[in-house]
Amino acid sequence: MNELKKHVVDIQNEAFALVAKAKTETDLNEIEIRFLGRKSEFNALLKGLKDLSSEERQAVGPLVNAIKQEMIRSFAEARQKMKLASVDWEKDRLDVTAPGVKLPEGHLHILTQVQREIEDIFTSMGFDIASGPEIETEFYNFDALNTPAHHPARDMQDTFYIKSKDGQENLSLRSQTSAVQVRYMEQHTPPFRIIAPGRVFRNEATDTTHEHTFFQFEALMVGEDINVGNLKYVAQEFFSRFFKTEVKIRLRPSYFPFVEPGFEFDISCLSCGGEKGCSACRHNGWLELGGAGMVNQNVFVNAGYERNRYQGLAWGFGLERLAMMKYDIPDIRLFHSGDTRFLSQF
Ligand code: FA5
């Protein structure tokens, strides 16, 4: 029995000696097959254990198994050493000071950027920011704004109506941010100045300048001595800062039921400065921007104010149209297209 033990240890020593001398992985593979392979002497010894008496098996079995594990470990260790020896430390060195790979990152949508810019300019002029719901009652969207059910001006804006569950309220997707006016006035006493940016909806066919879902912002300034001069000044200041160039303002008489007098609002052409006219302004020197006017006294009464106590100015502009002018964007439908080739430019 002792002879068998000695023989197993001899095999182990021989294997270890050869492993120590091995130069390449191929050498190691050969030695491994010779000592631990299916046809190896060691394997035959292992298989032969079952023919021994149980006492003999108990005497040598654990030793043979331990030696097998030792040999397996020594092959793995030798392979690991060879691998480390083959690394070119200079070439494969990790330069921890090298700049990393920049991952693509998201950014604010161009309309959000423009909206924030508008908010910054107005808040720096002392305006607060107000908001109202996108699903609006007919009262705030039309009636309170001096546009009752039978009024022909309702046809100016094609509205998406919504059936309310209880049939009590006539709900619609608001067609203009002017809907915020009376909501705000019911809660506040003049003097105040606010802007109300937000999403509006109109049931209309889309083209390069019309969307069914778009953004507007309303400006509303109410006090005891507000006049059209304030409107012109605030507008001139805003547009010059927004477009970063001196802009002239032109008001043309127009009609909106909630203002009196009412105006269409033009700014001098950004491309030609309004001097000579160009293709951007259809050769007339002016760009049409939105509606404005002095708040109709009926609107104040609907908000609970005393008639003729206050005066106010109001205007409403399309946010996309402003962004299109500033960044020379040819088609309004690009904003909501989700096309990253467009969006990543801003
Ligand atoms: C109004 O919505 C009035 N509430 C504006 C107003 C406010 C007048 C306060 C007086 C006092 P209008 O329907 O013209 O007006 O729209 C105003 C602006 O919204 C337009 O000049 C345009 O810039 C933008 N706009 C209107 N319809 C669309 C549309 N379908 N797609 C994109 N922008 C639009």
Separation of alpha carbons 21 and 5, rounded Å? 25
Separation of alpha carbons 334 and 109, rounded Å? 12
Confidence of residue 299 (pLDDT cuts 50, 70, 90): very high
Residue nearest to atom 23 of ligand 1 (CA): 318
Q: What is the pLDDT of residue 183?
A: 97
Residue nearest to atom 10 of ligand 1 (CA): 292
Residue nearest to atom 21 of ligand 1 (CA): 290
Residues 6+ away with beta carbon under 8 Å from 294: 226, 227, 228, 231, 259, 260, 261, 311, 312, 313, 314
| pLDDT reading at 276 higher than 80 | no
Q: Cβ atoms within 10 A of the Cβ of 142, count?
A: 27
Pocket probe for ligand 1: among 199, 202, 214, 215, the residue whose CB has the most ligand atoms within 8 Å is: 214
Spell out the domains of the chain, with CATH numbers in brackets: 2-86 (no CATH), 110-343 (3.30.930.10)
Q: Which of 132, 131, 129, 216 is nearest to 176 (CA)?
A: 216
- The residues that bridge with 198 in the sheet, in sequence order, are 216
Q: What is the pLDDT of residue 330?
A: 86
Pocket probe for ligand 1: among 141, 154, 178, 334, the residue whose CB has the most ligand atoms within 8 Å is: 178
Residues 6+ away with beta carbon under 8 Å from 289: 265, 266, 267, 317, 318, 321, 322
| pLDDT reading at 168 higher than 80 | no
DSSP structure class, residue 164: -
Q: What is the pLDDT of residue 1?
A: 66
Residues 6+ away with beta carbon under 8 Å from 79: 25, 28
Confidence of residue 282 (pLDDT cuts 50, 70, 90): confident
How far from the centroid of its chain's Cα atoms is residue 113's Cα? 11
Q: What is the pLDDT of residue 55?
A: 85
Confidence of residue 182 (pLDDT cuts 50, 70, 90): very high
C-alpha angle 182/185/188, rounded to 5°? 160
Ligand 1 site residues (CB inside 6 A) read 157, 176, 178, 202, 204, 210-211, 214, 216, 218, 256, 259, 262, 289-293, 314-318, 320-321, 332
Helices of type H across 150-227: 180-187
| pLDDT reading at 123 higher than 90 | yes
Q: Which of 234, 130, 227 is nearest to 182 (CA)?
A: 130
Q: What is the pLDDT of residue 151?
A: 79
Over range 262-281, report the average pLDDT. 80
Please give the distance, rounded to the nearest whole angstrom, from the Cα atom of residue 75 to the centre of ligand 1: 81
| pLDDT reading at 284 higher than 90 | no
| pLDDT reading at 50 higher than 90 | no
Please give the distance, rounded to the nearest whole angstrom, from the Cα atom of residue 216 to the centre of ligand 1: 7
Average pLDDT of the residues of the chain: 90
Question: Among 152-156, 221-225, 330-334, 342-346, whose mean pLDDT is lowest?
Answer: 152-156
**Which of the pair, 178 or 38, is modelled with greater confidence?**
178
Please give the distance, rounded to the nearest whole angstrom, from the Cα atom of residue 217 to the centre of ligand 1: 9
Which residue type occupies 198? G
Q: Which two tokens stand for residue 107?
A: 């950014």
Residue 109 to residues 105, 291, 323: CA-CA distances in angstroms?
13, 26, 12
Is residue 277 a contact partner of residue 257, using CB atoms and an 8 Å limit? Answer: no
Which residue type occupies 151? H
Please give the distance, rounded to the nearest whole angstrom, from the Cα atom of residue 200 to the centre of ligand 1: 10
Dump pLDDT digits (tens) for 195-241.
999 999 998 899 888 999 999 999 999 999 999 999 999 999 999 99
How far from the centroid of its chain's Cα atoms is residue 24's Cα? 56
Residue nearest to atom 9 of ligand 1 (CA): 315
Q: What is the pTM of this model?
A: 0.72
Q: What is the pLDDT of residue 285?
A: 82
To which residue do tokens 């008001």 refer? 251
Q: Which two tokens stand for residue 15?
A: 């294997």
Dump pLDDT digits (tens) for 242-256.
999 888 889 999 999
Q: Which of 177, 173, 181 is nearest to 137 (CA)?
A: 173
Confidence of residue 61 (pLDDT cuts 50, 70, 90): confident
Q: What is the pLDDT of residue 156?
A: 67
| Closest ligand 1 atom to 216 CA | 19
Residue nearest to atom 19 of ligand 1 (CA): 318
Please give the distance, rounded to the nearest whole angstrom, from the Cα atom of residue 186 to the centre of ligand 1: 23
Q: What is the pLDDT of residue 132?
A: 97
Q: Which two tokens stand for residue 72?
A: 């397996």
Please give the distance, rounded to the nearest whole angstrom, from the Cα atom of residue 323 to the centre of ligand 1: 14
Q: End-to-end distance of the chain based on CA atoms, in angstroms?
A: 85
Please give the distance, rounded to the nearest whole angstrom, from the Cα atom of residue 162 to the centre of ligand 1: 21
The phi and psi torsions of 91 (rounded to 5 degrees) equal -70, -40
Separation of alpha carbons 144 and 176, rounded Å? 13
| Closest ligand 1 atom to 178 CA | 4
% of residues, the chain, pLDDT over 90: 51
Please give the distance, rounded to the nearest whole angstrom, from the Cα atom of residue 327 to the centre of ligand 1: 20
Please give the distance, rounded to the nearest whole angstrom, from the Cα atom of residue 229 to the centre of ligand 1: 22
Is residue 144 a contact partner of residue 176, using CB atoms and an 8 Å limit? Answer: no
| pLDDT reading at 75 higher than 80 | yes
